[in-house]
Structure 1
């Protein structure tokens, strides 16, 4: 069937052309990159920076304003949690009770559908038994989103015509605009789940009652409450028909202004009305705040846009930006005192678009460079321009087919998914190389002058089985990744899909599209001389035009044209012309690589980068050429000294296993997001003003670092169920500048410099870049104004394609880690805890998975909060001594640290006055805490009406004692007569899991240590303290380590079962190919050797001496980003990818060895070895080509520095190292094959 399909397409080339056109057009339409498709519609794959690996979670959020965490826990959280535990599919329930609200996180099993789980929760909430919760408390389901859905944060700021920040807007005014205009406008954008507000002041109508006047008029608080409630109401009274016209009747009674409320009647005696203004002061004022927003030291108002679950984040952000553009023209403006106009503007301070675009840009660049470098290898090693064009065309078409499959199967494009294509490029081209090499060989051996269709078909049919087997082993090797569960499954299953789709696409293109095109391209034609002259002349003309317009590659076209003319004039032979064209093409690709890759850095000249790229590409190919030239000699030696030779791969395997056992373990290398999230905490007793002061100090300190672009800090929570932060928790979103100034497409941009290398600004002033080595001593420059380089913006510089890149960072700042160290240095404030190094997305994922704000921690469970805290503090002291733990990052929750003022009511005293608990509590609630009784309706705006005592009568405990409680028959009684007021420390937040109270001890690891190793060290130290009696675990208390490392342990457990199973399946495929256990085992040795090679490369990366020298001033360890590599899931995925390709060379070699022995049937040891050498010599070229493409294609990945490279590099290292060492299998398989045949010969003779 396979061969019939191949033959059909060879004979019907138009079908192949139509298929190619379909794949290309459809793929371009679905491509996730921002390509200009012209008239083609765009339907791109959904795009995000990283997969959502958080738990399958829903939130039940319940507000109960003014209530303490203990009241919330006892009356809401605990009863609700026990009711929700019975929902089907629930894995665990986490909850937190804080001041004024309860958050319950229901974690479902992975296979439970997101919206199905929401419907089950709603069913349960609607059927709660009466009396389970206090009156007026209504639990609500949180937004249909996850914490990772927070994709766009912004502030509202006044800006002048030049975009400069202006004043003139008060915080209450900004908050009203945010709450009633901006919020609802952005909520209407497609894909938005909610928009939550933060910062500023929420306006309230405040009625501050005067207790003296109330006693004078004998009015109780309950009467004031009743009066306020009854003074704000509109009614409808049906209709009235007048003169046959129908009129709708409305009774107007809504409060529109302060005077409406002031004139509300409280009571009337003897025809005299007592109004609210007679006993109270009515004003506008701010509502109680539990969240603050600060931008670089100034209070701000803003919001956060949350994307709906399953929505395309990139598309949602674009929809939001469209709404902002629509909304901007309608936002208010005002004229300032200095005559400037201040226009209210929505200014983003966290926009995931940049991270997504830069991540895609990194992958786009890596794929482009991989394709270029693969084309170079093919041109040089195949040494046939037509064949090189055919094979090179395979890659982009196959990549476009992957985009089609991603769209069809709803696989999002992100750093991990697209990395599957990046690490598959080398393998994808292998099938084309093997096929084309065999076609060329058959054409050379076509002595019978068979038709080209027949020659190509025979060549394809001969290797189709081997190609199918090689691809199938690679695809099968990724089965373990598909079986991963939890976070690691969500992270890497998309990668397994894209790699499988890429290999399948390359197989389809190689077997069904390359043969018909090969039959066309390789067919000999008699081209008229006139046409050839015209063609070559056109090449020269186009080349010259390209040079005139500044495209150096025009030289290549000129060279092709000149060589063509020389060939036509018979000045050089056609064979020599072909060789010249091949080298010209190779040089062109080297030039493109040097221009776009720039491995030595964009600040180095194109010439230096060209030399380096040429040396590394031609150098590695030179090594492969030497390998090929000396292959027969080495093979003959190995066949004569089998035991001595085989000791080498054996030693490599043993060494590799030893390295594996001593390599550190972690879950995942972190993705560089281009921003940090600083999350320290203040002391639990700190109030709103103190937290505001500290937050502003933190923001101003961070903003003073030259590399920081913006810093916006948040204290407390946004108005969202997704943000349960207490007031003492800070979240400072820190955006740092890119290393080099970028253009609007997030690509490095060149700017004009003068002849001395100084940057020239639009105003004529000059800038010395401190990162350059230019020394300026001329008097001309001394007299000039030299601008500070760290205050320069892109708008001030002059774009120039022939200029230089402008570096934003100081010379001593070499990486984002250095910027973080600067942040840590300036944020050491008294009363503020340290914070682990976190990033926005990373933090949301960690909090979703573990409930903590750190990737590592200990969860302490118990029944008593004080015991949990005390034990946690003991663990904190021990953890600081553990090897690999960052001492300053260890912090145990101070659970019972919030000051409480308790009003302890004496029931005996109440009985004397005939007062109930309810009456006293209502007085306390209204007079001290205030009570929102109604809501004004002012157009689209709604404001609460609160009744309360004036601040001066409730500012301290002594004032509280003087609050009067009305007595039904008698004079009011002061609270001091009814209750005792005392201080006590209580919980700031009460956390629980499956109804058990919990506390956390957070910690972080030192650089250079692996997560799992640090946790194991800490576990061992704690156990040692317990065994020695230095630490006693109280009864009812238990602890366990938690964090992202658990994902690594789970993944390791899964892989320990599934990887052997996949290897067994690979072995079975090999067996079905060769029908021989012995031959299959020989090929299988390639996996063991490559496996060891991968670990050898990991070991080399961690050795300071390896490649520790400079090339043109660039240290090669820095160039290839060499540092200690821990054994993460990403590395294991790299090894799994390696398993699939490690057998490819062995399959090709063993196939031809079998065919050679079937043809030759040697009868002596000498003939056996000769046959082995003959087979090896004929198959060494395609094997080296496939290995070279795999190795060289990974070089751009290994040197990449953009967003996402942190994840791509660990996945590429095993394949790079494994395939380098796997070259030895080109000797191992022939040697083992020869040994087997020689042993069989001996048995036959005997």
Structure 2
């Protein structure tokens, strides 16, 4: 293998012009790839999901569960590839969510669900539909409409019938959800006493309206050689058409029209929710949905290019105002990454100049950074893998430049030591020899680092989706860096370093370091057992310290907003009451916190059922100004801001608050089925028992230190006016249960008799009793029921009418009802907080038979990630040992070089502890990368010591002199690798949170590893080092003597 590396380097130098042009071509291709590369803030983390939405107007949760949800679940259960089946039944709505494995194509999953639901036995009028093909991060753009000339109902019609259509035409947009503003309808509000006076039934009114709105054709008529199509036009066009519909004629022949028995007007449909903004209680909002698999950056770019044309098509006086733009977060995170990149590269170049004491050499070495990154972009583009915040932000430019540093340092040193009396041609030969000398260690070092990333490709689930792009980026960039270091760096130096003798200038920093290192190294080699013992104690202490760090799944990405969920108690509040509370919340935040830019609230859910929510459920999108503009008392700390907000908002009675972020809560819901970072689910058959157990678990969680924002989702407490048919009494009047059911639906709930078409717009034509005759218990008891004999009987004579409490919502998972308790963890690590809560629940909760508790949310993902790390880390260590064995050829030498791994872990653990950073999957991946970096420096040092022993030096002389020679490259590579990640470790800007643990671990580990490696590794080699074997390097005794002479002279 070494011979192949030597040949590769020789070929690059001999064909240096070809090498140069090849690198230029790669640079151009990389720039093109960068332009084409999709970039996103977060990858799609959730598995494919298919939502089945069924609107069931007028029915309560119990009936919907029994008649709609369970039959659909029965059909959908067991679909191939299905991993979870959840549902929620609330008033008027059933939503079933089927989650599939990540390998199941979304189109196949949707097709299978569609086929299955066709077999469900459902009530008449219930038509399940599939939600559009969206991912977990579906919402990319929100806007609202304003106009001084249009009512909220008029704006809702513009949004629903004009803007939805225009936005759907944008590539990558799968749908638009309309929220806020009442939906227009034509209404026939019937007076029961007028019906009685005319002897007309409510069903006759409904049928007359329904049949009067139709058109038909009569074939065609031949006329003068032409075919005239015959059309009968009978569509209702306006209110007058409805008023003039004839129901029947009196015995005297007088027509009875709709206007004789009812009030006909335009009014709103029953609303499922409302949207408010700042001081406005009712605004019209549009939510643009992204098709699953589409790139949000490209779709938003297309959307914004279409916006001017869309705004031109709006009616005069209507304005479209943006509320939320995912592009803002993407741009802010990319700016954070860009700032870190710029700063990292600048620091690396400065350090190169300091260590090499030559600006030209530093610039040549730094060329590897852009080229290796562009090679990674080429690979990502060809593989179809989008770049994201984590994969870009975790690139360590110090790691990438590491190989080039070793190559440059060795060439400059050899040319300065041995090239003064040589001709340019001879110096070129010496340059090639110098390059070949470090070619093997460079390749083995890169292979070692790449090997540490390979186990990451075994990650599955959320961890795999987060970190596989990072691993692909780093592996391809490292391959690119190795390619450039072995080819372009020697070629560029051949153009600038061989024409005249090179004078090596010793950096003052290196000179000082060497001055300190010489005597201390000598002392450590005289007392190797002391040094080794100290290292063992340090490793043991770090292991003990690790148990006090705490753990979490992943630091939350700062989004620049707060997503505030408010749950009103009791859960049976009206929409009007919910709107009042929402107005108070918005006013409190806007008036008391100048840090807030705007507040958007949603009470309940949209009318299409895409977001199942009760009137008691509120969501508030709190858009924040940049942290640097906040008042000093919050110190740019979001936790302090949230604590202050919570204290003020808790003055509002009967409301529970839950603070999170917009994307974070969407991901939580997609991954666990509930919007919460920590969720306890209690499964069991009885709602009353589930609610009691839920309150007990919620109380325990609320008393657990670190667990905050505890919300127990109510299951019962919805007041219901129940109409129970007396079958025997109804039969005496010749009425069936179906007759009475139809009456209740039309008279009380209202039913759509037809559709009024206005151009391309369609509005329901509703028939129901006028409000005074259905809006109270007494009025409902007095509703007149038409009998076959023509007699009208009060409903109270045919049914038992009573008020009782029923279900507010019914959650189901895996075929069982469940209660949900959601919470956040603040001021404490996730793992220990949940473990404490679990221990108390297990001890204090008396679970009846057939009931169980399951903990999900971020805690579950953290536990799964820990299990994967527990497998991946040992695999990584085994791979490192194998590579080290292949590198040095002896097991003893491999073990000596492997000792740097625990030495690196010391600094990583201490860095996490000192910065109060929890151990997370990000820190775990950083630890994996750190091990590769640490071993690479060990290879660099030990390989040279082995080379000296091959040349006949004693073990003591080889270790001492070899350590002095390799001090500079070891110190350089480690320092530059650490400094390259320093901006990422120190940044607090939006988008930096997920990178910080990764950077902190590597920086801390490199500090301890470098300092200890320069002392512990020589001591270990002295005591346990292998015997010299067959020569495997490309150096020579004369060159080594020259290096030692140079070192001793300094």
Is the pair's TM-score, using the shorter chain for normalization, greater than 0.5?
yes
- Alpha-carbon shift at residue 702 of structure 1 (Å): 1.3
Q: Which residue of 1 aligns with 2:853?
A: 1039
Q: 1:461 aligns with which of 402, 413, 436?
A: 436
Q: Which residue of 2 aligns with 1:1146?
A: 938
- Range that drifts further, 807-816 or 684-693: 807-816
Taking the aligned partners of 1:101 and 1:522, their CA distance within structure 2 comes to: 77
- Alpha-carbon shift at residue 246 of structure 1 (Å): 3.9
CA contact (8 A) 1:398 1:509 kept: yes
Taking the aligned partners of 1:877 and 1:1195, their CA distance within structure 2 comes to: 43
CA contact (8 A) 2:982 2:999 kept: no
CA contact (8 A) 1:63 1:138 kept: yes
Q: 1:323 aligns with which of 293, 300, 306?
A: 306
Q: Which residue of 1 aligns with 2:573?
A: 686
Alpha-carbon deviations, 1:280-309, whole Å to 9, x = none? Answer: 110000110102110012120011001000
- Alpha-carbon shift at residue 880 of structure 1 (Å): 2.6
Taking the aligned partners of 2:697 and 2:291, their CA distance within structure 1 comes to: 40
Q: 1:119 aligns with which of 111, 123, 141?
A: 111
CA contact (8 A) 1:1089 1:1222 kept: yes
- Alpha-carbon shift at residue 15 of structure 1 (Å): 2.2
Q: Per the alignment, do residues 859 and 808 of structure 1 end up closer, same or farther by CA in structure 2, a change over 3 Å counting?
A: closer
Q: Would you say 1:915 and 2:735 are equivalent positions?
A: yes
Q: Per the alignment, do residues 625 and 965 of structure 1 end up closer, same or farther by CA in structure 2, a change over 3 Å counting?
A: farther
Q: Which residue of 1 aligns with 2:656?
A: 834
- Alpha-carbon shift at residue 1032 of structure 1 (Å): 2.1
Q: Which residue of 2 aligns with 1:759?
A: none
Q: 1:274 aligns with which of 219, 234, 256?
A: 256
CA contact (8 A) 1:652 1:1093 kept: no
CA contact (8 A) 1:72 1:97 kept: yes
Alpha-carbon deviations, 1:654-684, whole Å to 9, x = none? Answer: 0111112222111111111001100011121
Q: Which residue of 2 aligns with 1:627?
A: 513
Q: Which residue of 1 aligns with 2:992?
A: 1205
Q: Per the alignment, do residues 662 and 808 of structure 1 end up closer, same or farther by CA in structure 2, a change over 3 Å counting?
A: closer
Q: 2:190 aligns with which of 196, 209, 232?
A: 209
- Alpha-carbon shift at residue 808 of structure 1 (Å): 5.3
Report the RMSD for the aligned CA atoms in angstroms: 2.0
Q: 1:362 aligns with which of 319, 332, 336?
A: 336
- Range that drifts further, 197-206 or 1232-1241: 1232-1241
Q: Would you say 1:1013 and 2:827 are equivalent positions?
A: no
- Range that drifts further, 839-848 or 12-21: 12-21
CA contact (8 A) 1:1093 1:1221 kept: yes
Q: Which residue of 1 aligns with 2:67?
A: 75
CA contact (8 A) 1:185 1:323 kept: no
Taking the aligned partners of 1:898 and 1:687, their CA distance within structure 2 comes to: 11
Alpha-carbon deviations, 1:354-401, whole Å to 9, x = none? Answer: 110000010011011111100011111012232211111110111122
Q: Which residue of 2 aligns with 1:645?
A: 531
Q: Would you say 1:874 and 2:696 are equivalent positions?
A: yes
Q: 2:544 aligns with which of 648, 654, 658?
A: 658
Q: Which runs of 5+ in 1 are unaligned?
A: 32-41, 159-166, 334-342, 527-573, 584-620, 741-806, 1026-1030, 1102-1123, 1163-1167, 1242-1246
Q: 2:291 aligns with which of 308, 311, 319?
A: 308
SS of the equivalent of 2:481 reads helix
Q: Which residue of 2 aligns with 1:672?
A: 558
SS of the equivalent of 2:230 reads strand
Q: 1:242 aligns with which of 223, 242, 246?
A: 223
- Range that drifts further, 343-352 or 946-955: 343-352
- Alpha-carbon shift at residue 508 of structure 1 (Å): 1.5
Taking the aligned partners of 2:999 and 2:279, their CA distance within structure 1 comes to: 44
Q: Per the alignment, do residues 13 and 718 of structure 1 end up closer, same or farther by CA in structure 2, a change over 3 Å counting?
A: farther
- Alpha-carbon shift at residue 236 of structure 1 (Å): 3.1
CA contact (8 A) 1:420 1:495 kept: yes
- Alpha-carbon shift at residue 525 of structure 1 (Å): 7.0
SS of the equivalent of 2:287 reads strand
Q: Which residue of 2 aligns with 1:1235?
A: 1023
* 1:956-967 alignment, distance < 5 Å: 956-967=776-787
Taking the aligned partners of 2:847 and 2:625, their CA distance within structure 1 comes to: 48
Taking the aligned partners of 1:310 and 1:676, their CA distance within structure 2 comes to: 26
CA contact (8 A) 1:208 1:947 kept: yes
Q: Would you say 1:426 and 2:398 are equivalent positions?
A: yes
Alpha-carbon deviations, 1:721-748, whole Å to 9, x = none? Answer: 54222221111111111135xxxxxxxx
Q: Which residue of 2 aligns with 1:182?
A: 163
Q: Would you say 1:953 and 2:773 are equivalent positions?
A: yes
Q: 1:349 aligns with which of 317, 323, 333?
A: 323
Alpha-carbon deviations, 1:1127-1160, whole Å to 9, x = none? Answer: 1111111111111101111101110000001112
CA contact (8 A) 1:1146 1:1226 kept: no
Q: Which residue of 2 aligns with 1:1184?
A: 971
- Alpha-carbon shift at residue 1053 of structure 1 (Å): 1.1
Q: Which residue of 1 aligns with 2:495?
A: 520
CA contact (8 A) 2:695 2:712 kept: yes
Taking the aligned partners of 1:979 and 1:93, their CA distance within structure 2 comes to: 38
- Range that drifts further, 1055-1064 or 672-681: 1055-1064
Q: Which residue of 2 aligns with 1:990?
A: 810
SS of the equivalent of 2:962 reads helix
Q: Which residue of 1 aligns with 2:884?
A: 1070
CA contact (8 A) 2:912 2:1001 kept: yes
Taking the aligned partners of 2:110 and 2:914, their CA distance within structure 1 comes to: 50
Q: Which residue of 1 aligns with 2:89?
A: 97
- Alpha-carbon shift at residue 453 of structure 1 (Å): 4.1
CA contact (8 A) 1:59 1:721 kept: no
Q: Would you say 1:393 and 2:382 are equivalent positions?
A: no
Q: Would you say 1:1083 and 2:897 are equivalent positions?
A: yes
SS of the equivalent of 1:890 reads strand
Q: Which residue of 1 aligns with 2:209?
A: 228
Q: Would you say 1:14 and 2:17 are equivalent positions?
A: yes
Alpha-carbon deviations, 1:845-901, whole Å to 9, x = none? Answer: 001111222111210000011110011112222223323323xx2232221111111
CA contact (8 A) 1:51 1:416 kept: no
Q: 1:154 aligns with which of 143, 163, 169?
A: 143
Taking the aligned partners of 1:633 and 1:241, their CA distance within structure 2 comes to: 115
Q: Which runs of 5+ in 2 are unaligned?
A: 1030-1050
- Alpha-carbon shift at residue 259 of structure 1 (Å): 0.4
Q: Per the alignment, do residues 821 and 882 of structure 1 end up closer, same or farther by CA in structure 2, a change over 3 Å counting?
A: closer
CA contact (8 A) 2:542 2:909 kept: yes
Q: Which residue of 1 aligns with 2:131?
A: 142
* 1:747-786 alignment, distance < 5 Å: none
Taking the aligned partners of 1:842 and 1:76, their CA distance within structure 2 comes to: 31
Taking the aligned partners of 2:372 and 2:348, their CA distance within structure 1 comes to: 14
**TM-score, structure 2 length as denominator?**
0.94
Q: 1:1024 aligns with which of 839, 843, 863?
A: 843
Q: Would you say 1:297 and 2:248 are equivalent positions?
A: no
Taking the aligned partners of 1:725 and 1:409, their CA distance within structure 2 comes to: 40
Q: 1:504 aligns with which of 479, 496, 500?
A: 479
Taking the aligned partners of 1:903 and 1:125, their CA distance within structure 2 comes to: 30
Alpha-carbon deviations, 1:674-717, whole Å to 9, x = none? Answer: 01100011121101111111111111111111111111101111
Taking the aligned partners of 1:1220 and 1:711, their CA distance within structure 2 comes to: 46
SS of the equivalent of 1:324 reads helix
Alpha-carbon deviations, 1:94-133, whole Å to 9, x = none? Answer: 101111121111111222222221122222234x15xx11
Q: Would you say 1:3 and 2:6 are equivalent positions?
A: yes
Taking the aligned partners of 1:66 and 1:810, their CA distance within structure 2 comes to: 52
Q: Which residue of 1 aligns with 2:26?
A: 23
Q: Per the alignment, do residues 1047 and 1237 of structure 1 end up closer, same or farther by CA in structure 2, a change over 3 Å counting?
A: closer
CA contact (8 A) 1:350 1:733 kept: no
Taking the aligned partners of 1:122 and 1:452, their CA distance within structure 2 comes to: 74
Equivalences, count: 1018
Q: Would you say 1:1169 and 2:952 are equivalent positions?
A: no
SS of the equivalent of 2:568 reads coil
**TM-score, structure 1 length as denominator?**
0.80
* 1:437-586 alignment, distance < 5 Å: 437-444=409-416, 445-446=418-419, 447-449=421-423, 450-524=425-499
SS of the equivalent of 2:674 reads coil
Taking the aligned partners of 1:246 and 1:302, their CA distance within structure 2 comes to: 49
Q: Which residue of 2 aligns with 1:968?
A: 788
